[in-house]
Structure 1
Amino acid sequence: MRCLTLANAAALRGFGCFFVSRDLHGSLATKITSSGHASILLPQEGPPAPMEAGQYGQWLGTTEEHDSKSVIDALSELASDRCKLVVVDHYGLSSTWEASLNSTVGIPILALDDLDRRHESAFVLDVTFGKTAANYEGQLTEGTRALVGPSYALLRPDFALLRSPALQGRDARLSHGTVNHVLVSMGGADETNATLWVTDALATLLENRSFKIHVLLGAAYPHRASLDTLQATLGNRLEIHSDVAEMAALLADMDLAIGAAGSSSWERCCLGLPTINLVLAENQVTVARLLASGGAAIDGGRFPTSEAPDMWAKRIIAPVLASSTLIALSGTARDLVDGRGAGRVIAEAFSGLVRTSLLVLRGVTMDDAALLFEWQCDGRTRRYALNPAPPTWSEHLKWLQRKLNDPYCSFYIAEVAGIASGTVRLDRSASPPPPTATEHEWREVSILTAPEFYGCGVGLRMIRALMALHPEEDLVARVLADNQSSQRLFAKAGFSHYAPELLFWPQQTNRGIS
């Protein structure tokens, strides 16, 4: 899912994304294609994974050398000279695989990992809480960028968009000291049926408490019959959610979660959802330990366990329900993840291209709505906006449609090396014209640099590209007085002040402006 999240973020910015895999389960393949991406299946034949490759190597199903050759062949069919980044997410693929691609195709590699091992990639992404770049000291080749810590967690954009209202609602509910909705979320397959065990544990607490149990199931969950039997007993005190599309909205409504200590931990942290973590796999041990030691979650131990569900509930769940611990957990968790990790990864991977490549403007369409909404709702964008309140999705769609239908509006996306990097817009101006201007119509400039590409020179190039497209027009810019960086930006582009928050261009025209 984290690769799909990154691919979706890249696609919004103009990239075409391909998933290359030796095998894709039906539900995952459907999610990839329904998101607008292509998938390429590598041939199944090949040498088996050697025994000395260990468990991770067995997951790969073949040798790294054979896999890298298959991927190189696939890339050659995709015109690898146009490929800007290869993302690899597999414990069974090591620096050996990366070196093979580097020597053959030379495309920058972003390795998603958490094993503190050697890499020969351009970037390593490890979102483990408590880690720093020092964890990879001596393990990376010269020039490799280590993107470490949960601030880089790859979450779908709805988490960042819902974060502020979700936290406000959660704080209001927690202040009353009641828990009304408890979520059980153990991951997609849950072969050991931790879901049923935890739900049984919660059920033992229902007699003296009023909360409702919500169970989240993935498409691969194999024990549905046992859960249906329990639901028949609990009735409306248990609600089952399957293949939820609006995950952020569901988590926002919960007061406590009991979940696997995997990548979904970051979704819960982003929305400040107090959590009891269970370790279901070896690669979750570190996450659970560090989150618990940092006060961002409760360590519920490992599963399977010989402990009876009712005893575990009394020992682990009941103390959390009956204390102010939930407020502390929520406050600590929300500080770890803000939901904007995908943008940070995009910035690290492509800011060099954006900084040095040619910028062009293209017209905005309704297909750009989701990306524009993401940018508009970013706190850094709202900081100096004339209206600091972020729009709702419905408000944004209506606004965008009005702009596209307005004959006096010229609305552009800035693309650099094909990457969407910001917007610039001309509207009929309600601002007063410069006092020396003759009677004619001015239009007002509005710019928005993609937050992930701040510092890459996008703003100045957007303004200059706009001036080149509209050389016969006189332009006004309204910039808040305390937005000193934008004040300097417009001045550098040739605009002059005629009021504290108003600038105009050109400085001299044949219309008598001096």
Structure 2
Amino acid sequence: MSAMPPLIVIRADASSLIGSGHVRRCQSLAEALLDQGAAVLFVVRAGMSGEALFDGRALNTVFLPPRTASAAVRHDDPAHAHWLGASWQDDAADTLEILGERKVAAVVVDHYALDARWHAQVSERLDCKIVAIDDLADRPLAAALIVDHNHAESHARKYAVANQHASPILGGPHFALLGRRFRSASRNPAAADVRSIGIFMGGIDLENYSERVVRGLRDTADFNGDLEIVSTRSNPNLVDLLRLAELDGRCSVSLDLPDLADFFGRHELHIGAGGGATWERCCVGAPSLAVIVADNQRQVLDPLARLDVLAVTDMPAPDATAIGARARALIDSPALRLQLSHNAKELVDGQGCVRVAREIESLC
């Protein structure tokens, strides 16, 4: 009788505040873990936006019960504690209850609202390893392994305080968590002329930056070519976005794509928010303008701009005029777009999930 494969549990959420990127990158990691023979189970809080991201996906998922009221945030809670929809104690209890008597080898946690207290309680009760996927290093982490695929001069220094167990860190775009399609995706041709532009401002885009980008391209950049917006049915502004596309006449909206590899390969310029999609654009070599929509994105995007991997808006939360002006400069400079494409492809090779999955497997 063959041995049971190790069970890897992944705890991640999506919501209007969190966005969809944490779940999306964990789904990519799950594919690599499954390819290596592990069993994977997602644990996701219901009543937010996470359910829709699993529609049509062959991934085992259980949903924690929705909480009717958010717990009060304490002074010693992480800065993003309000994203959780519960206290960390309740979330840990819900997670342990739903896992029941399952034998768990490791729990992968991708959640800015959960810190070392949650890690320690779940690890002790399940007798398992904790793997923390993080970008911020803004709270204590009690993990056997930390994964941060963002660029940093020294990840050891970045996590000197947060890394309570002095655990190994898989740091940098070498470990970017991209889906299996990106391992063999066609590269963006980086053409001389911009005939079409792709827009992906995240799967939820609470502030409707997609519309802001369209208006900037039409009114300020004076771009009259085709536009394609990618989003999901969890976008609260979807009705307005569809109406905008209909009125524009040369703008289309693509929803709930299983992956974005083809999308990033079929436009001569891309405009998007920071986050996990940054590395997907890099892997394909898509010349990109990154729009800073959250404070924590600047520490990721500014170093990449200095390396000429992408262009970035000059200010956070830019208006349509600022976006349009920056886009016009890229449209008018094929040499710059070619340089961005080349540098981006050199940075990310699409194998990050495989590398991280192997490291997780070695813990089990």
Pairwise same-fold verdict (TM > 0.5): yes
Q: Distance in 1 between matches of 2:234 and 2:345?
A: 30
Shift of 1:352: 5.6
CA distances 1:63-118 after superposition (whole Å, capped 9, x unpaired): 3233223323333x2422xx221011111111111122233322011111112243
Preserved CA contact (<8 Å) 1:131 1:148: no
Preserved CA contact (<8 Å) 2:120 2:142: yes
Q: Which residue of 1 aligns with 2:216?
A: 201
Counting only pairs closer than 5 Å after superposition, residues 277-356 of structure 1 correspond to structure 2 as 277-302=290-315, 304-305=317-318, 307=319, 309-310=320-321, 312-313=323-324, 315-323=325-333, 324-351=335-362
Aligned-partner SS, 1:17: strand
Shift of 1:259: 0.5
Percent identical pairs in the alignment equals 27
Shift of 1:41: 1.7
Mark the CA change 1:228 to 1:346 in structure 2 (over 3 Å): closer, same or farther: closer
Q: Which residue of 1 aligns with 2:107?
A: 86
Shift of 1:26: 5.8
Shift of 1:38: 2.7
Mark the CA change 1:327 to 1:63 in structure 2 (over 3 Å): closer, same or farther: same
Q: Which residue of 1 aligns with 2:266?
A: 253
Aligned-partner SS, 2:80: helix
Mark the CA change 1:328 to 1:30 in structure 2 (over 3 Å): closer, same or farther: closer
Q: Which residue of 1 aligns with 2:235?
A: 221
- State which of 164, 168, 172 in structure 2 corresponds to 1:145: 168
Q: Which residue of 2 aligns with 1:478?
A: none
Aligned-partner SS, 1:335: helix
| Coordinate RMSD, CA, aligned | 2.6
- State which of 97, 100, 103 in structure 2 corresponds to 1:73: 97
- For 1:194, give the aligned amino acid: Y
Q: Distance in 2 between matches of 1:283 and 1:277?
A: 13
Is 1:61 paired with 2:103? no
Is 1:35 paired with 2:50? no
Q: Distance in 2 between matches of 1:250 and 1:151?
A: 22
Q: Distance in 2 between matches of 1:221 and 1:139?
A: 33
CA distances 1:382-416 after superposition (whole Å, capped 9, x unpaired): xxxxxxxxxxxxxxxxxxxxxxxxxxxxxxxxxxx
Is 1:125 paired with 2:147? yes
CA distances 1:38-65 after superposition (whole Å, capped 9, x unpaired): 3142474899243423651122233323
CA distances 1:311-361 after superposition (whole Å, capped 9, x unpaired): 642x311111111110111111112211111101011111366xxxxxxxx
TM-score w.r.t. length of structure 2 = 0.83
Preserved CA contact (<8 Å) 1:42 1:71: no
Q: Distance in 2 between matches of 1:33 and 1:41?
A: 20
- State which of 28, 34, 48 in structure 2 corresponds to 1:11: 34
* Corresponding pairs, count: 337
Task: Kindly indicate whether structure 1 or structure 2 has the higher relative contact order, using CA contacts under 8 Å at least 6 residues apart.
Answer: 2
Aligned-partner SS, 1:204: helix
Preserved CA contact (<8 Å) 2:179 2:259: no
Larger radius of gyration: 1
Preserved CA contact (<8 Å) 2:141 2:163: yes
More helix as a share of residues: 1
Shift of 1:161: 1.2
Is 1:269 paired with 2:279? no
- For 1:185, give the aligned amino acid: F
Unaligned runs of 5+ in 1: 354-514
Q: Distance in 2 between matches of 1:279 and 1:38?
A: 32
Shift of 1:141: 4.0
Aligned-partner SS, 2:38: coil
Is 1:111 paired with 2:126? no
TM-score w.r.t. length of structure 1 = 0.60
